[in-house]
Amino acid sequence: MELNQLTAHELLEKLKAQQTTPEAILDSLYARIQKIEPQVKAYVRGQACLPSTSSQADLPSVGDRHACPLRGLPITIKDNICTEGLPTECCSKILQGFRPPYDATVIDKLKKSGAVIFPLKANMDEFAFGSSTENSYFGPTRNPWNLDYVPGGSSGGSAAAVASDEAIWALGSDTGGSIRQPASFCGVVGLKPTYGRVSRFGLIAFASSLDQIGPITKDVQDAAILTGLISGYDPGDSTSVNQDVPDYTKSLTGDIKNLKIGIPKEYFIAGMDEEVKTIIQEAVNKLKDLGALANSVSLPHTEYAVPVYYIIATAEASSNLARFDGVQYGYRASSDNLIQMYKLTRAQGFGQEAKRRIILGTFVLSHGYYDAYYLRALKVRTLIKQDFDKVFGEFDCIVAPTSPTSAFKIGERAQDPLSMYLSDIYTISANLAGIPAISIPCGFTKKGLPVGLQIMAKPFNEAMLFRVAHTFEQNTDWHKFKTKL
Query: Catalytic residue positions?
Result: 78, 154, 178
Considering only 157-165, 175-183, 238-246, 474-482, which stretch makes contact with ligand GLN by CB under 6 A? 175-183
Tell which one of 83, 123, 158, 175 touches ligand GLN (CB under 6 A).
175
Are 228 and 249 in contact by the 8 Å Cβ rule? The answer is: yes
SS (H, E, C) the chain: CCHHHCCHHHHHHHHHCCCCCHHHHHHHHHHHHHHHHHHHCCECCCHHHCCCCHHHCCCCCHHHHHHCCCCCCEEEEECCECECCECCCCCCHHHCCCCCCCCCHHHHHHHHCCCEEEEEEECCCHHHCCCCCCCCCCCCCCECCECCECCCCCCHHHHHHHHCCCCCCEEEEECCCCCHHHHHHHCCEEEECCCCCECCCCECCCCCCCCEEEEEECCHHHHHHHHHHHECCCCCCCCCCCCCCCCHHHHCCCCCCCCEEEEEHHHCCCCCCHHHHHHHHHHHHHHHHCCCEEEEECCCCHHHHHHHHHHHHHHHHHHHHHHCCCCCCCCCCCCCCHHHHHHHHHHHHCCHHHHHHHHHHHHHHCCCCHHHHHHHHHHHHHHHHHHHHHHHCCCCEEEEECCCCCCCECCCCCCCHHHHHHCCCCCHHHHHHCCCEEEEEEEECCCCCEEEEEEECCCCCHHHHHHHHHHHHHCCCHHHCCCCC
CB of 427 to ligand GLN, least distance (A): 7
Our CB check for ligand GLN shows the closer of 168 and 438 to be 438
* Candidate list 79, 108, 174, 316; residue touching ligand GLN; CB under 6 A: 174
The residue among 27 and 174 lying less far from ligand GLN, judged by its C-beta, is 174
CB of 424 to ligand GLN, least distance (A): 5
CB 41 within 8 A of CB 122: no
Query: Does 154 participate in binding ligand GLN (rule CB under 6 A)?
Result: yes
Q: Does 463 bind ligand GLN (CB under 6 A)?
A: no
Binding ligand GLN by CB under 6 A: which of 22, 72, 144, 176? 176
Q: Which of 114, 119, 156, 177 binds ligand GLN (CB under 6 A)?
A: 177
The one among 130, 196, 330, 459 contacting ligand GLN by CB under 6 A = 130
Smaller CB distance to ligand GLN: residue 178 or 199? 178
Among 59, 313, 384, 433, binds ligand GLN (CB under 6 A): 313
Q: Does 165 bind ligand GLN (CB under 6 A)?
A: no
The packing angle between helices 305-320 and 376-392, to 10°, is 120
Residues numbered 91-120 forming contacts with ligand GLN, rule: CB under 6 A:
none
Q: Could you tell me the smallest distance in angstroms from the CB atom of residue 221 to ligand GLN?
A: 25
Between the two ends of the chain, the Cα-to-Cα distance in Å is 14
Q: How far is the CB of 423 from ligand GLN (least distance, A)?
A: 7
424 binds ligand GLN (CB under 6 A): yes
Considering the complex, state which of residue 251 and residue 431 has its C-beta at the smaller distance from ligand GLN.
431
Of 225, 19, 192, the closest CA to residue 114 belongs to 225
178 binds ligand GLN (CB under 6 A): yes
Least CB distance from residue 373 to ligand GLN, whole Å?
17
Which residue number, 222 or 424, has a Cβ lying nearer to ligand GLN? 424
Q: Smaller CB distance to ligand GLN: residue 129 or 395?
A: 129
Contact criterion met (CB below 8 Å) for 353 and 398: no
Interface residue with ligand GLN, options 30, 98, 129, 388 (CB under 6 A) = 129
Calpha distance 388→301 (Å, rounded): 10
Residues in 194-223 at the binding interface with ligand GLN, rule: CB under 6 A = 206
Our CB check for ligand GLN shows the closer of 313 and 469 to be: 313
Tell me the closest approach of the beta carbon of residue 268 to ligand GLN, in angstroms. Answer: 21
128 binds ligand GLN (CB under 6 A): yes
C-alpha angle 474-141-42 in degrees, rounded to nearest 5: 65
Q: Which one of the spans 20-28, 89-97, 123-131, 280-288 is the region binding ligand GLN (CB under 6 A)?
A: 123-131
Q: Closer to ligand GLN at the Cβ: 3 or 400?
A: 400
CB of residue 322 to ligand GLN, shortest distance in Å: 18
Check binding of 403 to ligand GLN (CB under 6 A): no
- Nearest residue to 482 via CA among 77, 188, 169, 276: 188
CB of 91: closest distance to ligand GLN in angstroms?
Answer: 12
Q: Quick check: 316 binds ligand GLN (CB under 6 A)? A: no
Stretch that binds ligand GLN, among 26-34, 114-122, 172-180, 398-406 (CB under 6 A): 172-180
CA distance 354 to 174: 17
Nearer to ligand GLN, 282 or 412 (CB): 412
Q: Least separation, in Å, of the C-beta of 177 and ligand GLN?
A: 5
Residues near ligand GLN, by CB under 6 A:
128-131, 154, 174-178, 206, 313, 424
